[in-house]
């Protein structure tokens, strides 16, 4: 989603042509343009997943919303964009960078309870 005010930032990196360090100024519009395709693919994946979600789970999602975790949650206004495109309330999880690790740890702690779900081939892919 476009920002109200464009942001610019000077960044430092290596110039591909010369191999030397170089400073350049980059704008939020340039970043938005570069991220448009991957973000659209993420939105499409969310919409496709919602379209095949069983009704009882879809009802819970509609009531409780979508929670975004991981590095993607740090993309500015991603929650608003997902909400706009899906019609579902969308939130950024608390500590989004830790969610996957915490969830994996809880899964391992409860592996005997989770084994049937994790190893069910129908749930894969």
Report which of residues 124 and 91 the model is more confident about: 91
Question: Going by C-beta distance under 8 Å and a sequence separation of 6 or more, which residues neighbour residue 23?
Answer: 10, 11, 12
Contact 58, 50 (CB under 8 A): yes
Contact 72, 82 (CB under 8 A): no
For the chain, how big is the Rg over CA atoms in Å? 19
The verdict on residue 82 lying in a domain is: no
Task: Please provide the size of the chain in residues.
Answer: 125
The verdict on residue 108 lying in a domain is: yes
Question: Tens digit of pLDDT for each residue in 5-19?
Answer: 889 999 999 999 999
pTM score, two decimals?
0.74
Q: What is residue 16's predicted lDDT score, i.e. its pLDDT?
A: 92
The verdict on residue 49 lying in a domain is: no
Summary mean pLDDT of the chain:
90
Return d(Cα 52, Cα 55) in angstroms, integer. 9
The verdict on residue 113 lying in a domain is: yes
Question: Tens digit of pLDDT for each residue in 44-55?
Answer: 999 999 999 999
Domain limits for position 119: 95-125
The verdict on residue 120 lying in a domain is: yes
The verdict on residue 67 lying in a domain is: no
The verdict on residue 74 lying in a domain is: no
The verdict on residue 53 lying in a domain is: no
Query: Domain count of the chain?
Result: 1
Sequence-ordered alpha helix ranges (H) in 52-89: 55-64, 78-86
């Amino acid at each position: 989603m476009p920002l109200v005010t464009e942001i610019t930032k000077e960044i430092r990196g290596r110039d591909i042509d010369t191999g030397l360090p170089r400073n350049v100024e980059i704008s939020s519009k340039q970043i938005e343009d570069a991220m448009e395709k991957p973000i659209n693919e993420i939105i499409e994946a969310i919409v496709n997943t919602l379209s095949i979600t069983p009704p009882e789970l879809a009802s819970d999602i509609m009531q409780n919303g979508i929670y975004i975790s991981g590095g993607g949650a740090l993309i500015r206004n991603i929650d608003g964009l997902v909400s706009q495109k899906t019609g579902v309330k969308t939130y950024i999880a608390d500590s989004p960078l830790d969610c996957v690790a915490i969830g994996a740890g809880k899964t391992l702690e409860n592996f005997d309870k989770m084994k049937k779900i994790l190893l069910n081939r129908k749930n894969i892919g």
